Structure 1
Amino acid sequence: MTTSVPAFRQTQRVLDDAFEPSHSASAHLYISFGAHRIRLGVLDAQRNKFVALEDYESEKPASVEGAIAALQRLSQSHPLLQERKWQQIRVGIKNQQFTLIPEALFVVGAREEYLRLNAVVEPEQEMVFHHEHPRLELVNVFTVPTQLHAWLTSYFPDSPIEFMHQTSGLMEGFLHMSERKASPQLSIYVDNNYVTLVVLQNLRLEFCNSFYFSSSEDFIYYVLFVLQEKKMNPDLDQVVVWGELLLNSELHEVLRKYIRNVQFGKKPTGVGYSYRFDTLFNHRNFDLYSLHFCD
């Protein structure tokens, strides 16, 4: 009996002319993994420059198991995934199975207990991991699909692999781009019916959470709720948006209706990009790029 593998279509692809997949031993492979979307990014470590990015989206309702099967199938012929030895691999997990714990209170042995306060953990299907954020003085506790972990660690046996949650990349990326300000700064990341809201103030984290939305009304409700909770003024305070949101989209229109100063974000600074990336919107793929800053 054959297993059906969901179709994932390629929606973005850029590749630097000077980069060869055979140079993988001196490059970093970044993988953004979610049930509906898989992205691959390559950073040339010697030049500190992103040289490749590919994006795949599910054409039908997706599942984690289906996305893992799609990634496995992609590895059978994809030039980047055919290379098994990388200087470093980082995998960003997109799900709502995460919680943030103050660094001073964190105990490794209690990771699952922390997570169970905010999420349903299925030990047969998920593994509990954590990622430390020293500059923010907190620890992100999250789950990784057991099947994904098993396949990646066996497929890339000679490459160091780090797993982290999507929000870890976003927090570090926003912190990297942020300025020390007394007033709170709201950053919004939009992706496949999920919105992640992060508030930084004086380079300290004041809020971080991810919400599912099915309509523009749901979307703006969460944004306005956080603005109100953090005593921000939608007529005065600037809001910066990254991710899958276009200028003429319904979500952008509703943001502009309720918030006076909405700005699209830019690619992270402190790292280079091949000229091929000039064809991509600057505010997209921020979570993938920001995996680079999760040291």
Structure 2
Amino acid sequence: MPLNTFVPAFRQTQRVVDDAFDFSQCASAHLYISFGAHRIRIGILDVPHNKFVALEDYEAERPCTVEQAIAALEQLSHTNQLLQEKKWQQVRIGIKNQQFTLIPETLFDQNAREEYLRLNAVVEQDQETVYHHEHPRLELVNVFTAPASLQAWTQQHFPQTRVEFVHQTSALMEGFLHMAERSTRPQLYVYVDKNYVTLVVLQGLKLEFCNSFYFTTAEDFIYYVLFVLQEKKMNPDQDKVLVWGELLLDSELHEVLRRYIRFVQFGKKPTGVGFSYRFETLFNHRNFDLYSLHFCD
């Protein structure tokens, strides 16, 4: 690492670990990492029991770049017990960025992945690697980028483990599918992150909309939500909106949601997977994208 590379401190904001989990059994567990420039979260799934048994959340104390976050992850791997384990049944990493596009599976050509992305994003070939993830139930493919230096770190750190990259939107779409009810009415799912909001509309098991928006004010945030409701002919006075992510009951974002939308409801942990009793101390609507990496098979 160059001497002039500044690595911001990441402070731990959440930690739960099941006392009964035996770290010597990591070879039969899945390691999930949610990676973004401002936040790194780590989760462990005990595969034989289909249960999350550990979660740690680290947040940057000041703004930083993706490369600085990768450097911080590398530093963390020298001291963090979860990351010091190198042999897992599987490692799956969720990438948080806006470098993604959704392609109908009937039109998808793996050799054209970069061309698809260039319609919506600037691809830096020397800094990014293009991946894709298939969604058979939605009949589409998510094409996205991940930092090349993050891929290099995983190859070095997990030499004996298969590492898979997926985009955050893929995890959210699969998680929401597990929560979706068969209905003739569209349903808006909202996931709030630091300065980003991802909006997904499902009608039954059919995807009607998925996009991620950058915002700096509560006015920007509610504009995107109301725009999607309007585009999908949903009624803010009648249709329920489900919300997950970094949102608190007394926050400005929650207040503006309640001001413009009559039925706002916090989401729950995903169904189809279990959780250690230790997770009862965490808000049910947080960490949904990390949990939903489990459904990206």
TM-score (norm 2): 0.98
Per-residue deviation, 1:204: 0.4
The 5 A counterparts of 1:175-194 are: 175-194=177-196
Please say if 1:162 is aligned against 2:164: yes
Per-residue deviation, 1:6: 1.2
Residue of structure 1 equivalent to 2:246: 244
Per-residue deviation, 1:4: 2.9
Residue of structure 2 equivalent to 1:9: 11
Residue of structure 1 equivalent to 2:222: 220
Name the CA distance, whole Å, in 2 between partners of 1:20 and 1:78: 16
Per-residue deviation, 1:202: 1.9
The 5 A counterparts of 1:78-89 are: 78-89=80-91
SS in 2 for 1:111: helix
Name the CA distance, whole Å, in 2 between partners of 1:202 and 1:84: 40
Name the CA distance, whole Å, in 2 between partners of 1:208 and 1:55: 26
Please say if 1:260 is aligned against 2:262: yes
- Letter in structure 2 aligned against 1:53: L
Please say if 1:113 is aligned against 2:148: no
Name the CA distance, whole Å, in 1 between partners of 2:157 and 2:145: 20
- Letter in structure 1 aligned against 2:28: S
Residue of structure 2 equivalent to 1:71: 73
SS in 2 for 1:104: coil
Per-residue deviation, 1:42: 0.2
Per-residue deviation, 1:35: 0.4
Residue of structure 1 equivalent to 2:153: 151
Per-residue deviation, 1:22: 2.1
Residue of structure 1 equivalent to 2:279: 277
The 5 A counterparts of 1:116-155 are: 116-155=118-157
Name the CA distance, whole Å, in 1 between partners of 2:22 and 2:64: 32
Render the CA deviation track for 1:62-106: whole Å, top value 9, x for unaligned: 110110000000011111111110001100000000000000000
Residue of structure 2 equivalent to 1:39: 41
- Letter in structure 2 aligned against 1:262: V
Per-residue deviation, 1:153: 1.4
Name the CA distance, whole Å, in 2 between partners of 1:82 and 1:7: 19
Name the CA distance, whole Å, in 2 between partners of 1:58 and 1:20: 29
Residue of structure 2 equivalent to 1:204: 206
Per-residue deviation, 1:270: 1.1
Name the CA distance, whole Å, in 2 between partners of 1:124 and 1:200: 36
Per-residue deviation, 1:20: 2.5
Render the CA deviation track for 1:99-122: whole Å, top value 9, x for unaligned: 000000000000000000000100
SS in 2 for 1:60: coil
How many residues matched?
A: 295
- Letter in structure 2 aligned against 1:235: D
- Letter in structure 1 aligned against 2:232: K
Residue of structure 2 equivalent to 1:58: 60
Name the CA distance, whole Å, in 1 between partners of 2:6 and 2:65: 12
Residue of structure 1 equivalent to 2:290: 288
Name the CA distance, whole Å, in 2 between partners of 1:128 and 1:19: 35
SS in 2 for 1:235: coil
- Letter in structure 2 aligned against 1:88: Q
Name the CA distance, whole Å, in 2 between partners of 1:276 and 1:25: 22
Per-residue deviation, 1:179: 0.8
- Letter in structure 2 aligned against 1:206: E
Q: Which consecutive segments of 4 or more residues in structure 1 shift more than 6 A?
A: none
Render the CA deviation track for 1:117-139: whole Å, top value 9, x for unaligned: 00010001000000000000000
Per-residue deviation, 1:58: 0.3
- Letter in structure 1 aligned against 2:57: D
Name the CA distance, whole Å, in 1 between partners of 2:94 and 2:6: 25
The Cα RMSD (Å) is 0.7
Residue of structure 1 equivalent to 2:100: 98
Per-residue deviation, 1:5: 1.8
SS in 1 for 2:184: coil
